[in-house]
Structure 1
Amino acid sequence: MTEFVATTPGVFPLPDWAKDRLGSLKGHQKEDLVDGSEGTDVTDVYEEARATVADWQATAGLDRTVEGQLRWDDMLAHPLCVHDGVETRGIVRYYDNNNFYREPVVTGELAFDGDLADDLDALAALETDTPLQAVVPGPYSLADLATDEFYEDDAEFRDAITNFLAGEVRAFPDVETVFLLEPSLVVNPPEDGADERASDAIDRVAEATDADVVVQTYWGALEEKVHAHLLDANVDAVGYDFVTNHEDNLYNINEYGTTEDIALGLADGQNTLVEEPETIAERAAWVDEQTPSADFETMYMTTNTELFYLPVSRCVEKLEALAAGAARANEEVDA
């Protein structure tokens, strides 16, 4: 019997009141928020905002609670942008949209940092009623978003990124689930040989935790070889963007198989139109019906992308729709 789990890929929009308070701090600069040198006034705002987004998720009825990644002004590049061995330089377009991040240029050794674990520790201290979920950039995407001026060898650089992320994940408190976000596998797919190495890197990061690991891909469908190699990684679930490209994702699943659990991007993380819970439940049922050879133990029902693109009100409504959609799907299974 399939269990439907409502969750998100995280990276939420910062609450409006938090933006206002941060903007009013004397001498405040945007880069101060993300380079690890925040003052007490700034960290207090983030602590309050973290509790706020945890409450959003609890009130909506989600089955996992993410930290919200509210400090991630540089989106998935954040873990490098706050690292001592990295310089942040010019503004770079974040994939093919109107969002931008500071280019992280690796100029020194990528030693352990602990920034991600610190945020998760703060979330754990809130003692939420639902299991915790960590959100981490996947090793292929993080390397794709960065520039190397230290290792000077592509394979060595990607290996260093992988080791860095594995060390960060190893320091996490107890979490139920880890979402590795890997949009670059779709947007800038690895070539022959590199696709196998990307899978190996994901496998190594996944080995750093006992939690269930979900590799969430989005903005389209994986190329066939990339998908096949990804299935070689020892992960619990692969995520598919059924908002952007349901046909090719369905083909990959039926042609090459997939993991025993699966994550489905069923609500649009970039569009302010809020899906009805019935629509979300129907989309999950449709995927289940269209994959007759699969017998999924868990279906994670999520937005297809991070949520920072949305206004706060729409973000909250998406959370409510996901939770209600998963509840409806579970009721239909139990009926």
Structure 2
Amino acid sequence: MTERVATTPGLYPLPDWAKETLSELKGHQKGDLLSGDEGSEIEAAYDEVRGEYVDDQLAAGLDRVVEGQGRWDDMIAHPLTVHDNVDTGGIVRYYDNNNFYRDPQVTGELTADGDVAAELEAAADVLADDAPLQATLPGPYSLADLATDEHYGDDADFQAAVAEFLAGEVEAFPDHETLFLLEPSLIENPPADGEETAATAAIRTVADATDADVVVHTYWGALDEKLYAHLVDEAGADALGLDLVAGDRDDTVYNVQEYGATDSLALGVVDGQNTLVEDAETTAERVEWFESQVPVEAFDATYLTSNTELFYLPENKSKAKLAALAAATEVLE
């Protein structure tokens, strides 16, 4: 029987109290923030946020617990925007979500700096043995797509360097059960024809750096057929994340029917950008609909997740969606 795992891609909205507190504290330390050195008061606030995130996930009954990425002001560009060899440029809009972040401009060699590993160590300390830890990172294709290269001079070399940078980060991670690599650019700005293998090779570089199960999570629509086939065959992922909320889900099902799938799948079954909260039955129905279209017995595990990060939602709506995901796994038993 296929294991069903309730989890999320991370990147949660800040608690309401933290927005005000951190805004005030950061107003005095802007120069330090851009280097990832926030100072003791800001660190203490983020520690409290992290503890709340862990408690919320445990209370909801999720099967995997993420750190929550409360520090990631620049969303999936964060691992670069705090790097010593990256200048944080002007404000830009990523994708079409009406949220604006800084533009990471890579000016020197990308070497692992342990920033994300330190966050995960702190989350592991809070979590103890209450549930398995799940790590979250941007995928190398999306991170390279969102950044500006002012050092490597070649797109392929830059993408490979970003992958090596992320792999170095992963090698420093504490024990984790699962790694979600967030790859929205594979849909929003896919590789040109003939460049799919370079993208999947970059993802494999990161996937090979961990013994955990790796989920390459794509969202905001269906993957191009050719790219989908490359990801299944070449990316080294244990599971491919498929968005059943945005875009035409029939196209997503067609890809699975026509080209097969990874050993496991992650299904985006609650909307990470819509304040309407799906109940457990609706969430379970989306899973059952998908499973009715494909041979579900072929999968080792099905991850039930939000299609996107939950950052875009009010705090109370985000918590409600955690509960819906966890409750859906019980409905499906």
Q: Is the 8 A contact 1:264 1:299 kept in 2?
A: yes
Match of 1:276 in 2: 279
Distance 1:106 1:306 in 2: 25
Measured at CA, do residues 26 and 319 of structure 1 come closer, stay the same or move farther in structure 2, by a change above 3 Å? closer
Shift in Å at residue 64 of structure 1?
Answer: 0.4
2:254 equivalent to 1:257: no
Shift in Å at residue 29 of structure 1?
Answer: 5.1
Shift in Å at residue 33 of structure 1?
Answer: 4.3
Distance 2:73 2:259 in 1: 37
2:63 equivalent to 1:60: no
Matches within 5 A, 1:183-262: 183-231=184-232, 232-244=234-246, 245-262=248-265
Shift in Å at residue 43 of structure 1?
Answer: 0.1
Amino acid at match of 1:265: G
Q: Is the 8 A contact 1:33 1:71 kept in 2?
A: no
Match of 1:328 in 2: 331
Partner-residue secondary structure (3-state), 1:250: helix
Q: Is the 8 A contact 1:88 1:104 kept in 2?
A: yes
Shift in Å at residue 32 of structure 1?
Answer: 4.6
Shift in Å at residue 35 of structure 1?
Answer: 3.0
Distance 1:293 1:316 in 2: 29
Distance 1:206 1:287 in 2: 26
2:102 equivalent to 1:102: yes
Match of 1:267 among 244, 266, 270: 270
Measured at CA, do residues 23 and 278 of structure 1 come closer, stay the same or move farther in structure 2, by a change above 3 Å? same
Measured at CA, do residues 279 and 293 of structure 1 come closer, stay the same or move farther in structure 2, by a change above 3 Å? closer
What's the TM-score, normalizing by structure 2?
A: 0.96
Shift in Å at residue 295 of structure 1?
Answer: 1.6
Measured at CA, do residues 26 and 243 of structure 1 come closer, stay the same or move farther in structure 2, by a change above 3 Å? closer
Gap regions ≥5 residues in structure 2: none
Measured at CA, do residues 239 and 190 of structure 1 come closer, stay the same or move farther in structure 2, by a change above 3 Å? same
Identical positions, percent: 62
Match of 2:43 in 1: 43
Amino acid at match of 2:93: R
Kindly provide the CA deviation profile for residues 107-166 of structure 1, in whole angstroms up to 9, marking residues without a partner as x: 010011110100000001111511000001000000000000111111111111011011
Shift in Å at residue 192 of structure 1?
Answer: 2.0
Match of 1:3 in 2: 3
Partner-residue secondary structure (3-state), 1:238: strand
Measured at CA, do residues 65 and 293 of structure 1 come closer, stay the same or move farther in structure 2, by a change above 3 Å? closer
Amino acid at match of 1:215: V
Kindly provide the CA deviation profile for residues 219-269 of structure 1, in whole angstroms up to 9, marking residues without a partner as x: 001101110111122110001000013111101110101111100000000
Kindly provide the CA deviation profile for residues 77-111 of structure 1, in whole angstroms up to 9, marking residues without a partner as x: 00000000100011010111210110000001001
Shift in Å at residue 18 of structure 1?
Answer: 1.0
Q: Is the 8 A contact 2:3 2:301 kept in 1?
A: yes
Partner-residue secondary structure (3-state), 2:58: helix
What's the TM-score, normalizing by structure 1?
A: 0.96
Amino acid at match of 2:62: L
2:296 equivalent to 1:288: no
Distance 1:239 1:328 in 2: 21
Shift in Å at residue 54 of structure 1?
Answer: 0.4
Partner-residue secondary structure (3-state), 2:298: coil
Shift in Å at residue 34 of structure 1?
Answer: 5.5
Kindly provide the CA deviation profile for residues 153-207 of structure 1, in whole angstroms up to 9, marking residues without a partner as x: 1111111101101110111100000000000000000012211110111111100
Measured at CA, do residues 34 and 176 of structure 1 come closer, stay the same or move farther in structure 2, by a change above 3 Å? farther
Q: Is the 8 A contact 1:264 1:304 kept in 2?
A: yes
Q: Is the 8 A contact 2:8 2:309 kept in 1?
A: yes
Shift in Å at residue 318 of structure 1?
Answer: 0.4
Amino acid at match of 2:302: M
RMSD over equivalenced CA pairs, Å: 1.3
Amino acid at match of 2:56: W
Match of 1:297 in 2: 300
4+ residue stretches of structure 1 with deviation over 4 A? 29-34
Q: Is the 8 A contact 1:8 1:303 kept in 2?
A: yes
Shift in Å at residue 208 of structure 1?
Answer: 0.1
Matches within 5 A, 1:15-54: 15-25=15-25, 27-28=27-28, 32-33=32-33, 35-54=35-54
Partner-residue secondary structure (3-state), 1:88: strand
Matches within 5 A, 1:160-171: 160-171=161-172
Distance 2:186 2:151 in 1: 24
Partner-residue secondary structure (3-state), 1:22: helix
Greater alpha carbon shift after TM alignment, 109-118 vs 14-23 = 14-23
Give the total of aligned pairs: 330
Distance 2:43 2:94 in 1: 26
